[in-house]
Structure 1
Amino acid sequence: MASLADPLDLPSGVRLPNRIAKAALSEALGDADNSPDERLVTLYRRWAQGGYGLLITGNIMVDRAHLGEPGNVAITDDRALPQLTAWVKAAHDGGAVIFAQLNHPGRQSNLLALGHTPVAPSAVPLAMPGATTPRALTSAEIEEIIERFATAAAVCEEAGFDGVELHAAHGYLITQFLSPLTNLRDDEWGGDPSRRMRFLIEVVRRVRGRVSPGFAVAVKLNSADFQRGGFTEADSRAVVAALAAEAVDLIEVSGGNYESPAMGGSEASSTREREAYFLDYARSVRREADGIPIAVTGGFRSRTAMEDALAAGDCDLVGIARPTVTATDAAASILEGRTATLTTHEIQAGMRRVLGRLTDLKALDGFLNLSWNTDQLHRLARGLEPDLRRGPLVTALAMVRRNGRVSFAQKRGLR
């Protein structure tokens, strides 16, 4: 029976010093060239001293022309190698292992970037106010994006990262290929479950072929997208079985997307009380995973629940995200017995009766909580402490200001 303090050896040989991971949180702290700067070094230095066995970065995009939000770091070549190396050093100096989370937003590119046309497997718009109908990718463009993931992974290894995590969850591009709701293709990239998962498998293979055997390759995968007719747990189990045949080091289980949030402050109180939202699913795919370590992120708050999940063999690694924003030393606090239960700060939109007639309050609350946490990360990156008094109105204004930068045309050289 594993405990939180036990190390975890991944198939590639990377050793995590304990079983608590700082899961990905989108930092939006890239500079004007979408490269990391001293703010990310400051932020990760604080987390690296917080006792986590693994730090997973927030969204790093593989194409500067397609960002999930302004401020995303993007890796398309080695132009920012010194800054990336400094980022890694901040984690390693604190004794943490660090993975870079690689992503492409697809149709979930910044919703407030006017004049930008997102791309996706098929021309299916996001069911959110103001969303632009994406352009369906050509086969040649799909191959190009696969190569972008591989190039970014190779640069990450050169910079000293211990591994990468491919983001195949939360409605981003890889998830769009996996879901029958967003992948309406009938070519080699869609039409049945096997072809819909081909994009992910090809990304894994291309990445593994460009990095050394001792470099870890992880995948963040939805248990389901919780939409009628969408990506189901049965579909997800089939993907896990396919990943087990590849050189994958870790599968992190999550769920939901922008249209149907499953975590992030908008979930029901009964869901929060169960703590680990996706633990039942993780337990059910142990056989399909065939020995690949499983991480579960979403809802863990108490040391008891974390220890019980590990002891039962339901997962091998516990991921925590939002608690690390207000307590950068959350892992050490749990491991040293200083804290029995972690806390999070959650906000809700005001004027709920009026707004409820105009939009989905659950989704709005989810966006607000994501923005609130981003605001706190920016404070931490400036060497400040979190501001727990920050309310929904100020948070909403900051969200619009941060994401509402207008871009009427792609800039030369962005790709």
Structure 2
Amino acid sequence: MTDDTTNSTTDTTADTTTTVLADPLTLPCGEVLANRIAKAGMSEQLATRAGIPTAGLHRLYATWARSGAGLLITGNIMINRDGLVEPRNAILDNDHALTAFTAWADAAKHCGTAVWMQINHPGRVATVPFTRRPVAPSPTREPVPGYNLRTPRELTGRRIQALIHDFARTAHLAVAAGFDGIQIHAAHGFLLSQFLSPLANTRDDDYGRTPAGRRRALLETVAAVREAVGPAVPVSVKLNSKDFQYGGLSEAESLDVAAALADAGIDLLEITGGNYAEPAMEGVHHTPHQGPYFAGYATKVRHRVDVPLMLTGGLRTRTTMERLVAGGAVDIVGIARPMAFVPDYPARILADEPEPLLPAPPRPTGYRPLDGYVQLAAHNHQFHRIATGRTPQTRAGLGTVLHAVGKLTAAAAGQAVLPR
């Protein structure tokens, strides 16, 4: 194993063979993406304890800027300091550290690719001990160890409005810092996903009770973000196809949410699925031969609405990506975990090179929440290698991954009390 720097990443100016994946895409707002491959959002955990982007985060995105992807979507950016998804999340709730975010955007865009900021609030899955008083649509705990030490406080109507304002403020600041677009995270069991779930949202007011009530917080967030960034900035939403939990968001209800989002004028809908209890986004409900994880749902959305679609999960081969885009099922294919190990994966796909071999995932334990967490940790470990100028590992054992996670968590312990 070598520790060479990542500067050998394929240059995106290299010639590509003819492929529909190289076609540009014009979004409803008028923004043009250079091609049909995007790096999907993955949590980097490379900010300071105060939530400020670090030089390592800049270096990671400078590497991905040369990846060949037409779009880079960041990982979780927190809209306030009341809750963190993980330690070392970046937080953009004021303009005090805007220059660090501008440097991040500049690093990601220096080869001409677009970069969008994914904005989020964890709600009841805020990680302890980094959040003292988690909040949620209803006072019910996440049924996964590590997230259920505190019963969340039920949000009042006034507090919901304040959080919607926070989403809009972060979106405005992101654009001011130089990010090209916004993605609102409404999947994977985070706050807006909790509002959509009948299992997590048992409210008896206008933000619950009915399917229309459960999607109200998301739609009001979309409207507030659009007003904050204007009509020419792309606004995207990341949405679960379903929660994969009995009593959670169903596919039928998710289709109604997708239709409402199209009516609200979003520019791109990214399709995913699952949450911490059932991490379908990590592939735990699929086997390798099944291909893209949520392609069936994408086809149903396409038949229902005309909003541009992005599909993420289980996409590995050029043949599959071309089939989905050329056939009209989706407009953009999202690549996430492969880019932790092969940062220029999109460029290789576009150049019709053989698909790079990826390391096998850690051996499953049979407990899906733990298996999902270990997979996330394995990829996050590679981000931290790239951030320090080293190449990703082709193989990292479970012991190595857990040791790295322990060091990161211990180093971040001071983030339990964040400065305001």
Q: With the length of structure 2 as denominator, give the TM-score of the two structures.
A: 0.91
Partner of 2:248: 230
TM-aligned CA deviation for residue 178 of structure 1? 0.3
Partner of 1:366: 372
Counting matched residue pairs gives 400
Which residues of structure 2 form unaligned runs of 5+? 1-18
Counterpart secondary structure, 1:76: coil
Residue identity matched to 1:282: A
TM-aligned CA deviation for residue 13 of structure 1? 1.1
Structure 2 counterpart of 1:14, from 13, 17, 31: 31
Structure 2 counterpart of 1:48, from 65, 77, 84: 65
Taking structure 1 as reference, are residues 34 and 314 closer, same or farther at Cα in structure 2, changes over 3 Å only? same
Counterpart secondary structure, 1:78: coil
Counterpart secondary structure, 2:164: helix
Deviations 1:171-203 (A, max 9, x none): 000000000000010111100000000000000
Cα separation, 1, equivalents of 2:381 and 2:352: 29
Deviations 1:220-264 (A, max 9, x none): 000000111110011101101111111210000000000011032
Tell whether 2:162 aligns with 1:144.
yes
Cα separation, 1, equivalents of 2:169 and 2:107: 23
TM-aligned CA deviation for residue 115 of structure 1? 6.9
Partner of 1:96: 113
Tell whether 2:182 aligns with 1:164.
yes
Partner of 2:403: 397
Partner of 2:143: 127
TM-aligned CA deviation for residue 406 of structure 1? 5.1
Partner of 1:78: 95
- Relative to structure 2, which stretch is displaced further, 376-385 or 337-346? 337-346
TM-aligned CA deviation for residue 90 of structure 1? 1.2
Identity of aligned residues (%): 44
Structure 2 counterpart of 1:385, from 371, 391, 395: 391
TM-aligned CA deviation for residue 114 of structure 1? 6.7
TM-aligned CA deviation for residue 161 of structure 1? 0.8
TM-aligned CA deviation for residue 402 of structure 1? 2.9
TM-aligned CA deviation for residue 316 of structure 1? 0.4
Residue identity matched to 1:378: H
What is the CA RMSD across the aligned residues, in angstroms?
1.9
Partner of 1:334: 349
The answer on whether the counterparts of 2:59 and 2:389 sit within 8 Å (CA) in structure 1 is yes
The answer on whether the counterparts of 2:35 and 2:70 sit within 8 Å (CA) in structure 1 is yes
The answer on whether the counterparts of 2:283 and 2:314 sit within 8 Å (CA) in structure 1 is no
TM-aligned CA deviation for residue 400 of structure 1? 3.9
Cα separation, 2, equivalents of 1:11 and 1:210: 17
Taking structure 1 as reference, are residues 21 and 408 closer, same or farther at Cα in structure 2, changes over 3 Å only? closer
The answer on whether the counterparts of 2:83 and 2:131 sit within 8 Å (CA) in structure 1 is no
Deviations 1:115-174 (A, max 9, x none): 722110001101112422211111111111000000000001111111010000000000
Cα separation, 2, equivalents of 1:329 and 1:285: 30
Partner of 1:319: 334
Partner of 2:239: 221
Taking structure 1 as reference, are residues 195 and 344 closer, same or farther at Cα in structure 2, changes over 3 Å only? farther
- Relative to structure 2, which stretch is displaced further, 152-161 or 131-140? 131-140
**Which consecutive aligned stretches of 4+ in structure 1 deviate over 4 angstroms post-superposition?**
404-411
Residue identity matched to 1:200: L
TM-aligned CA deviation for residue 60 of structure 1? 0.4
Tell whether 2:129 aligns with 1:113.
yes
TM-aligned CA deviation for residue 287 of structure 1? 3.5
Cα separation, 1, equivalents of 2:415 and 2:176: 35
Structure 1 counterpart of 2:84, from 67, 73, 93: 67
Structure 2 counterpart of 1:273, from 289, 305, 315: 289
Cα separation, 2, equivalents of 1:101 and 1:153: 9
Counterpart secondary structure, 1:21: strand
The answer on whether the counterparts of 1:265 and 1:346 sit within 8 Å (CA) in structure 2 is no
Counterpart secondary structure, 1:230: coil
Cα separation, 2, equivalents of 1:348 and 1:286: 36
Residue identity matched to 1:163: G
Cα separation, 2, equivalents of 1:71 and 1:3: 38
Cα separation, 2, equivalents of 1:344 and 1:263: 18
Taking structure 1 as reference, are residues 54 and 301 closer, same or farther at Cα in structure 2, changes over 3 Å only? same
Which residues of structure 1 form unaligned runs of 5+? 353-359
The answer on whether the counterparts of 2:123 and 2:190 sit within 8 Å (CA) in structure 1 is yes
Taking structure 1 as reference, are residues 114 and 87 closer, same or farther at Cα in structure 2, changes over 3 Å only? closer
Counterpart secondary structure, 1:32: coil
Partner of 2:5: none
The answer on whether the counterparts of 1:116 and 1:408 sit within 8 Å (CA) in structure 2 is no
The answer on whether the counterparts of 1:263 and 1:298 sit within 8 Å (CA) in structure 2 is yes
Counterpart secondary structure, 1:94: coil
Cα separation, 2, equivalents of 1:45 and 1:153: 22
Q: With the length of structure 1 as denominator, give the TM-score of the two structures.
A: 0.92
Cα separation, 1, equivalents of 2:179 and 2:135: 29
Taking structure 1 as reference, are residues 373 and 115 closer, same or farther at Cα in structure 2, changes over 3 Å only? closer
Taking structure 1 as reference, are residues 155 and 191 closer, same or farther at Cα in structure 2, changes over 3 Å only? same
